[in-house]
Homo-oligomer: A and B are copies of this chain.
Amino acid sequence: MGKHYLLNLYDCSFVLLNDELCLIQLLESAATASGATVVQTISKKFEPQGVTVICLLSESHISIHTWPEEGKAAVDVYTCGDCDPKIGCDMIIEQLHSNNHTLSYIER
Contacts and interface: CB of A to CB of B under 8 A. Distances in A.
Interface of A: 1-2, 4, 6, 8, 39-40, 42-44, 46, 52, 54, 56, 58, 60-61, 63, 65, 67, 72, 74, 76, 78, 80, 104, 106, 108
* Number of chain copies forming the complex: 2
A69 to B, nearest CB: 12
A6 B65 CA distance: 17
5 contacts: A43-B56, A46-B58, A52-B61, A61-B65, A104-B106
Given A1-B67, A60-B65, 4 more contacts: A39-B44, A52-B60, A54-B61, A61-B65
A53 to B, nearest CB: 9
